[in-house]
């Protein structure tokens, strides 16, 4: 009997009938992952050693939003129990660095990925009356971008709106003016235009940014979303999959 995934934490591939769980694919017909887990054991008993099992063979009450281990709480792909969040952070950082290096990333990009490393698995702020106010212990997309970039550029703002004003050198806005090491340009979605380390901005209303992600290379980004387990390394198309009204907006490139 086929077992489907929780669609709120997975990406369904219509062509194959498989689900993408942030790190590998799951086949609902065989109830098995299609590639081995990066972890030889999840520390969850004997079934934790099965590198192809989905949700410890108990998908009715458990989920696996990260593709690394089963959990009963869907809200955080970086389950903190027994050091699993640390493992998730390490594996995610390694995957992001590998993607960036294979795409010819600069040392600055690798540094930014390293800054993101401690935040992998951090939850997105909870929704309150249609908004996402910042809460200690959580992280939104612009906070993540700030955490990655601010050591390189101490003037870099910490909200998407302020970042765009800064990068556009809108001095009248009062958020500072980006240096010559930054360039910003319109982006329509052609991934061949992107370089590792590019900050990709999305918009739901013309001229108003709603999301930012850092491009790692090979079609992958680092970002924070309320639909994908918080801070994660994921395919660039995931954000628009869950936010179909969003479109590509701008790309900011640092060349310092």
HEC string of 178-236 equals CCCCEEEEECCCCHHHCCCCCEEEEEEECCEEEEEEEEEECCEEEEEECCCCEEEEEEC
- Same structural domain, 35 and 101: no
Count: domains in the chain: 2
- Same structural domain, 92 and 175: yes
Question: Between β-strands 25-27 and 32-33, what pairing exists: parallel, antiparallel or unpaired?
Answer: antiparallel
Confidence at residue 44, expressed as pLDDT on a 0 to 100 scale? 57
- Same structural domain, 138 and 31: no
- Same structural domain, 7 and 68: yes
- Same structural domain, 52 and 33: yes
3-class DSSP assignment, residue 20? strand
Of 40, 74, 108, the position where a domain reaches its end is: 74
239 within 8 A of 127, measured Cβ to Cβ: no
Confidence at residue 1, expressed as pLDDT on a 0 to 100 scale? 38
Q: Where are the beta strands (DSSP E) in the chain?
A: 11-13, 18-20, 25-27, 32-33, 182-186, 199-205, 208-217, 220-225, 230-235, 247-254
Q: Which CATH number is 249's domain given? A: 3.90.1720.10
Spans in the chain with pLDDT lower than 70? 1-11, 21-23, 32, 36-52, 54-84, 228
- Same structural domain, 104 and 52: no
Confidence at residue 57, expressed as pLDDT on a 0 to 100 scale? 63
Confidence at residue 121, expressed as pLDDT on a 0 to 100 scale? 85
Confidence at residue 4, expressed as pLDDT on a 0 to 100 scale? 45
Cα dihedral 164, 251, 106, 152 in deg (nearest 10):
0
Report how far residue 157's alpha carbon sits from residue 143's, in angstroms, rounded to the nearest whole number: 9
* pTM (2 d.p.): 0.70
- Same structural domain, 147 and 244: yes
Of 26, 43, 74, the position where a domain reaches its end is: 74
- Same structural domain, 63 and 91: no
- Same structural domain, 16 and 44: yes
Residue 5: domain span: 1-74
- Same structural domain, 163 and 240: yes
3-class DSSP assignment, residue 12? strand
Confidence at residue 80, expressed as pLDDT on a 0 to 100 scale? 42
- Same structural domain, 94 and 13: no
- Same structural domain, 12 and 97: no
Residues 6+ apart with CB under 8 A from 144: 116, 119, 222, 223, 224, 231
Q: What is the pLDDT of residues 157-204, one digit of tens each?
A: 999 999 999 999 987 778 788 889 999 999 999 999 999 999 999 998
Confidence at residue 22, expressed as pLDDT on a 0 to 100 scale? 62
Confidence at residue 28, expressed as pLDDT on a 0 to 100 scale? 75
Of 42, 59, 74, the position where a domain reaches its end is: 74
């Amino acid at each position: 009997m086929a077992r489907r995934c929780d669609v709120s934490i997975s990406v369904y591939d219509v062509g194959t009938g498989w689900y993408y769980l942030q790190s590998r694919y799951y086949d609902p017909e065989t109830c098995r992952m299609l590639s081995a887990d990066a972890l030889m054991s999840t520390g969850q008993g004997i079934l934790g050693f099965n590198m192809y099992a989905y949700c410890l063979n108990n998908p009715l009450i458990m989920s696996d939003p990260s593709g690394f281990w089963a959990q009963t709480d869907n809200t955080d792909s970086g389950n903190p129990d027994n050091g699993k969040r640390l493992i998730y952070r390490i594996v995610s950082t390694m995957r992001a660095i590998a993607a960036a290096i294979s795409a010819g990333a600069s040392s600055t990009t690798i540094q930014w990925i390293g800054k993101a490393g401690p935040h992998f698995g951090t939850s997105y702020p909870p929704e309150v009356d249609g908004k996402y106010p910042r809460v200690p212990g959580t992280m939104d997309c612009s906070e993540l971008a700030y955490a990655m970039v601010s050591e390189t550029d101490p003037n870099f703002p910490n909200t998407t709106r302020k970042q765009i004003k800064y990068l556009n050198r809108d001095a009248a806005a009062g958020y500072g003016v980006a240096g010559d090491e930054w360039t910003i340009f319109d982006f329509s979605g052609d991934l061949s235009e992107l370089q590792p380390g590019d900050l990709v901005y999305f918009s739901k209303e013309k001229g108003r940014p709603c999301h930012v992600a850092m491009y790692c290379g090979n079609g992958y980004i680092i970002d924070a979303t309320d639909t994908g387990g918080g801070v994660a390394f994921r395919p660039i198309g995931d954000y628009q999959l869950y936010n179909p009204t969003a479109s590509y907006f701008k790309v900011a490139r640092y060349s310092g």
